[in-house]
Amino acid sequence: MVVEIGPSNIESQFALDALRQGIRVDGRGIYDYRTLKIACGPTPGLVEVQLGETRVLARVSCEVSRPFPDRPTEGIVQFNAELSSMAAPGFDSGRPSTQEVAVARMIERTVKQSRAIDAEALCILAGDKVWAVRVDLHFLSHSGNLIDAASIAAITALKHFKRPDVTVDGEEAIIHDPRDRNPVPLSIHHTPICVTFGFLGDGELMVVDPSLLEEQVQVSSFTITLNAHREICALSKAGGVPLDQEQIDRCTQLALTKVEELNEKISEAIKSAVPDTN
């Protein structure tokens, strides 16, 4: 069994020494993201995000389902995020690790519980038929900061996805074949995006978009989810050393500018997506 071993002592020490001088091991600035590439399509809802060497594939699909009895007019949104050994040696698909659960929960909170998807627009016949939208997140390569990459992939895929058109005639719902009638996009209220910060040393050294080495050395991390309307959708600081209130404020300010940039990149990627040829 391959157990992921941490970085060697000199790697950890070097990362800290460099950071104290304001430089990062991969040559980035403290506040820089790694190069972000978003590839949409050709199939609607298929999006691959590359953040440096980290890669996440998101796949949105849908089917007609029966609504939950307590919410007869709302569609169903399901998330599935699993870390497999494809992403890094030692990940076991049988037993999810704490990290895996943390990533999956954060994404679900970001996109689902922030009500980014208009669930009522997914209703076909109240109490009888609704759309069940499924988001599968496949982690292909883990080189640090899976959360940000996954949140970008998930929201981009949801915006890029198109479901079959439906006409309701009394009690009858007709689902149109994509070839007969153009499929329609989902109704998305807003686009929440995660921005993650890592804290190293005694918590005084902050970095944006931590790399794998920085994640392994960090003493605390902080993720803030914002949308384009400058609203906070989720916050997460799971343990680690305590952080100053000023640091949180600084992170929030930084995250606001980062989310603006990321939002632009997402819109660009959807605009320049390869059209589906079928």
Partner 1 sequence: MQRPDRREANQIRSLHCMLGQLSRVDGSAQFSSGKTSVLCGVYGPIDVKVYDEKLDRAHIEVKFRPDIGVPTTKDKWVESAVRSTFEKEVLAQLHPRTLVQINLQVRENDGSVDATAINATTMALVDAGVPMKTTVAAAACVVLKDGSIVADPTKEEAELAVSTHTFAFANGSSDGPLYVDSRGRFSMAEYNRCYDLCRLTCDRILAFMRTALESKIQKESAISAV
Partner 2 sequence: MADTKVVIPGDVIDTTIHMETGDGDDSVVRLGPGLTQINDSVTSISAGVLHSNPETHQHWVVSNKRRYVPAEGEPVVGVVTARHGEGYRVDIGSAHDALLPLLAFEGATKRNKPNLAVGTVVYGRVVVANPVMDPEIECYNSNTGKAEGYGELSSGFVFQCSLGLARRLMDAQAPVLNALGDEVPFEAAVGLNGRVWVHAETPAATILVTNAIRNSEFLDARQTKQMVKELLARQ
Residue 23 found at the interface with partner 2 (CB under 8 A)? yes
Residue 26 or 136 with smaller CB distance to partner 2: 26
Binds 116, which of partner 2, partner 1, none (CB < 5 to 8 A, cut-off by type)? none
CA 131, CA 125: separation in Å to the nearest integer?
Answer: 10
| Amino acid (one-letter) located at 150 | A
Interface region with partner 2, contact rule CB under 8 A, candidates 19-27, 42-50, 157-165, 250-258? 19-27
Interface contacts to partner 1, rule CB under 8 A: 1-2, 42-43, 46, 48, 53, 55, 57, 59, 61, 80, 82, 84-89, 93, 134, 136, 138, 140-143, 278
Residue 53 or 165 with smaller CB distance to partner 1: 53
Residue 14 or 162 with smaller CB distance to partner 2: 14
Residue 25 found at the interface with partner 2 (CB under 8 A)? yes
Question: Taking the alpha carbons of 12, 13, 18, 21 in that order, is the dihedral positive or negative?
Answer: positive
Min dist. Cβ of residue 100 to partner 1 (A): 14
Interface region with partner 2, contact rule CB under 8 A, candidates 10-18, 69-77, 168-176, 260-268? 10-18
Min dist. Cβ of residue 13 to partner 1 (A): 23
Min dist. Cβ of residue 262 to partner 1 (A): 22
Binding residues (CB under 8 A) for partner 2: these are 5-14, 17-18, 21, 23-27
